[in-house]
Amino acid sequence: MLSTPVGESVDSSAMKHRVLIFSLAYYPHVGGAEVALKEITDRISDITFHVLTLNFGGEAKEEKIGNMFVHRIGNSASYFSKILFIPRAVFAARMLHREQHFDAFWAMMSYMVLPIVLLRALGIRVPYLLTLQEGDRWEHMFSRWFILPFRPLLSFGFTHASAVQTISTYLARWAKRMGYAGHVEVIPNGCDTALFGEDNKMRDRQFFLKHQSVDGSRTTLITTGRLVRKNAVDTVIHALALLPTAIHFVVVGDGEERLALEGLAADLRVSDRVHFIGEIPNSQIMHYLHASDVFVRPSRAEGMGNSFIEAMAAGLPVVATQEGGIADFLFDATRNPDKETTGWAVDKDSPEQVAETVQDILTHPEQVAKVKVNALALVKEKYDWTVIVKQMRNLFATLGV
């Protein structure tokens, strides 16, 4: 039977509320949702958090990370293991609930309502929060043939949620489309603005240039995130071929498209200007941002995108589309004349616009300085973790936690 790992004091936790989280992935496998979970739970000390997550293979079955008790189930990252995660999570949650008596459940992303729905069928009914963090399009999430048989269960999970929180107004419309009738709380992901600030920018740039052994006179474009089609790294590589040879492109992250992207760079004869860094700890991303000049990610789809907020906090001009949740914070001088400009918007799948925009940024430093000030002010006001955690704690209070 799953039990509380060694290290939890019975006395210290006796008066705390307990929340069980369902999340397919958690540390050390990190994306925006996993970062958000850790940042939020680490900052809410009056709740004891547990998470049921997939064991991708070779990881501890139970451990404590920050303010989170991690319970890993399964034994691989295969598609079959991901399918089996749902029934396994139901069994594990049932056993763990007998011991811990959770006050609430928390489903991190749409599919994670499935174990909660099945638990309700078994008579375990506690208030639950559903958080939407999806970055893919609606059709990809809910209209594929092998998802359609589960749509009724997903709809039940949406309509019976005690509260729904999304990271963007774009995703809030998903909740309504799936039948949720209540008020949707839009609470975005964020960043530690003090951590990503520009205080160490010069040191980080010197470190990066030495590490990469390249000429410091170059201009550096950067993108961070998974190498998947929706993040449109290929569009930036195509744009690079249209830009002067002194401009380089740093790609931080890894994913299924890496080999194809490396091949594309070779085909376009820009391999010497594209630097694939691979996946790095989230705590190191700021160093690469500080060492760069322009952040570029012309996403084809986006639920929100922590990477854009981190780049703004690091003092970089940001080039992006306004797909999905990006439209909540990236305001373009031409496309959003009623708002303070915070970045440069381009159409998706348009390398030409990306190249033109980068050239515009490099030739108008005074304009760029003003936009960076606006972007940083927005991030500090709405996207700092201290602001977001207060909102999340208030949301848990509505669940009686």
Fold of 10-190+385-398: Rossmann fold (3.40.50)
Beta bridge partners of 220: 248
Is 193-382 the same fold as 10-190+385-398?
A: yes
Q: Which residues pair with 278 in a beta bridge?
A: 252, 253
Query: Once rounded to an integer, what is the mean pLDDT over residues 213-240?
Result: 88
pLDDT at 6 over 60: no
Q: What percent of the chain has pLDDT over 90?
A: 81
Contact 331, 341 (CB under 8 A): yes
- Homologous superfamily assigned to 193-382: Glycogen Phosphorylase B; (3.40.50.2000)
Helix (H, G, I), strand (E, B) or coil at 343: coil
104-138 residue pLDDT tens? 999 999 999 999 999 999 999 999 999 999 988 88
User: What DSSP letter does each residue of 5-62 carry, written as one string?
Assistant: PTT--HHHHTTSEEEEEE-S--TTS--HHHHHHHHHHHH-TTEEEEEEEE--SSS-SE
Q: Are 316 and 294 in contact (CB under 8 A)?
A: yes
Q: pLDDT tens digits, residue range 57-80?
A: 989 999 999 999 999 999 888 888
Sequence ranges of the domains in the chain: 10-190+385-398, 193-382
pLDDT of residue 11: 44
Q: What integer pLDDT is reported at residue 208 of this predicted model? A: 61
Model confidence pTM above 0.85: yes
**Average pLDDT value over all residues in the chain:** 91
Q: Convert the pLDDT of each residue in 273-319 to its tens digit.
A: 999 999 888 888 888 999 899 999 999 999 999 999 999 999 999 99
The DSSP call for residue 182 is S
Tell me: the pLDDT tens digits for 124-176? Answer: 999 999 999 998 888 989 999 989 999 999 999 999 999 999 999 999 999 99
- Is the bond preceding 115 in cis, omega lying within 30 degrees of 0? no
Strand partners for 297? 320
Cα distance from N-terminal residue to C-terminal residue, the chain: 25
Q: What is the pLDDT of residue 204?
A: 63
24: CB partners within 8 A, 6+ apart: 53, 54, 82, 85, 108, 109, 111, 112
